[in-house]
Amino acid sequence: MKSEFICGTLEGFYGRPWRTDQRHQLFQWMQDWDGMNTFMYAPKDDLFQRKKWRENYPESELGELKELIQACHQKNLGFIYAISPGLDITYSSESDWDSLKNKVNQIQQIGCTQFAILFDDIPSEISANDQKEFSSISGAQAYVTNRLFEYLANFDSSLIFCPTVYCGKMAEYDVPGNAYLNEMGKALNEGIGFFWTGPEVVSTDIPVESIQELRQVINRKPIIWDNLHANDYDIQQIFFGPYTGRSLKLKNELAGILSNPNCQFWANYNPLRTLAMYIVETDSWNSRQSFLDSSKEWMQYFGNDELTLEEIQLLGDCFYTSGQLGKMGNQLVESVRCIMSKEPAAWGSRLEIFRKLETSLNSLCMKLMVTTNRDLLYDYYPVLWELKEEMEYMSKWISWKQSGAGKFKYQEMVPRRQGIIYEIQKVVHSN
C-alpha cells in the first residue's frame, strides 16, 4: 500500500452517479490544486459495483472505466476501484471468491492498481453456511479481505477495507469495547487500509482523541471517509461550505482523507477545494477564510460574469455544511425568527437585514437563471427555488403585518408541502 497520505474525492454516495465529463472536470481540479492525489470510484448505484458485484462489466462500461483510470494516471492521480460484495456474499464460498477474483482481474487488466472492499450498509448477520465456518462477521470479513489483499499483492496492488461498523455511533460510542472492531484490528493484515467516518456517519467534528482511541483498536491509522458534505440522505440539503470541524493535528493520526461530497457535482467546488487547502496547510486552519478564498475561484464556473462575489458567498452561506449555516445564512434565519415572533415596532435592523438578503437572493436567482452553465444551474435549482419561495412568502407576510389589516391572505402557499412524504412526516415527527 502506498505510504503517502491519501487525499481526494470519493464518489461513494447513493443516487445518480456523476457523468464521465464531470469526473474529468474533477480530475482537472484535483490536478490543479495542491494536496489531492486520489479519486475513489464507489458509486452505490453503479450496479456492477454493488448489487451485481459478481458480474463483470459489459464492454462499453468497461471502456469508460478504463478511460477514467487512464485520465487519473495521466494527471498523476491515484484511482481506487471499490467493490461492495457485502449485500449477499457467502464469505466461505469458493464460487463467490472466484467471482470476486474475476471482477478484480477485469479491473486490474484495465490498469487499476488500487482497490477497496466495502462492507458498509449491509446485513450484520452471516448466512447459515458461513456460521459453520466463522464465529462472527468480523472473522468472515477478515478472511475474505486478507485473501484479496494477498491476491492483489501478486499485482503490486493495494487494498482498503470499509468496515460494517464504520463510526463511533455504530460502536455505540464505545470503540475500545467494540468486539467487531477489536477483532478486525487484530485479524486484518496490517498493510490493509481502514475506513472510518468519525464519531458519526456525518461527523460535524472529528476530535483528535477519538482517532487516537480508534488507532489503538484497529492497529493502524484510519483513512477518513468524510461525509461532511454528503447530501444523499436529504433532498432538501446541499452543501457549498468549507472543510471544517477538523483540526490540523488530526492529520497526524490519519493515513488519509477522502471526501464523499454532494450528489450534485457542481455543488462540490468549495467542499473539495477547501479540503485540498486543509491538506497543504501546516500552521493554522481557518475554515471560514478558506471558504472566502475558494468562493473567489468558484465564481468562474457560474457562467454569468454579472454575479457578484457577495451573491456567491451568500449562496454558500445559506447552504454551508451539515448542521451549520454560514454567516449570512445565520443572519437570514435570525431576521426571520425575529420578524415572525415580534411586532413590527420591535423588528429594528432585522427588517433591513432581511430586505438586503432578500434582494441579493433575488438577484442571484435571476442571474443564475440565465447562466451559460446550465448543468450547474440544474444542480442548484431545487434548493434555491425552495428558498426563494419561502422568501416570497415572508415578504408577503411582512407587508401584511405592517399593514395591520385583518387576516393574512396568501393562502395559496399554505400548506405548501403536500403528498405522501409530508403526510407521513406530519404523523411521525409531530412532536
Contacts with ligand GDL by CB under 6 A lie at 12-14, 44, 120-121, 162, 166, 197, 201, 225, 227, 230, 232-233, 260
Smaller CB distance to ligand GDL: residue 178 or 295? Answer: 178
Cα–Cα nearest to 329, from 237, 414, 227, 397: 237
Smaller CB distance to ligand GDL: residue 91 or 166? Answer: 166
Beta strand pairing call for 256-259 and 158-162 = unpaired
Least spacing, CB of residue 365 vs ligand GDL, in Å: 28
Smaller CB distance to ligand GDL: residue 141 or 331? Answer: 141
Tell me if residue 121 is catalytic.
Answer: yes
Smaller CB distance to ligand GDL: residue 14 or 381? Answer: 14
Contact 207, 168 (CB under 8 A): no
Q: Which of 96, 121, 205, 375 is catalytic?
A: 121
Angle (deg, nearest 10), helices 20-32 and 59-74: 10
Least spacing, CB of residue 15 vs ligand GDL, in Å: 9
Least spacing, CB of residue 172 vs ligand GDL, in Å: 16
Least spacing, CB of residue 336 vs ligand GDL, in Å: 28
Least spacing, CB of residue 383 vs ligand GDL, in Å: 17
Smaller CB distance to ligand GDL: residue 188 or 391? Answer: 188
Distance (Å, whole) CA 12 – CA 39: 11
- How is residue 69 written as a grid cell? 483510470
Residue positions annotated with a catalytic role: 121
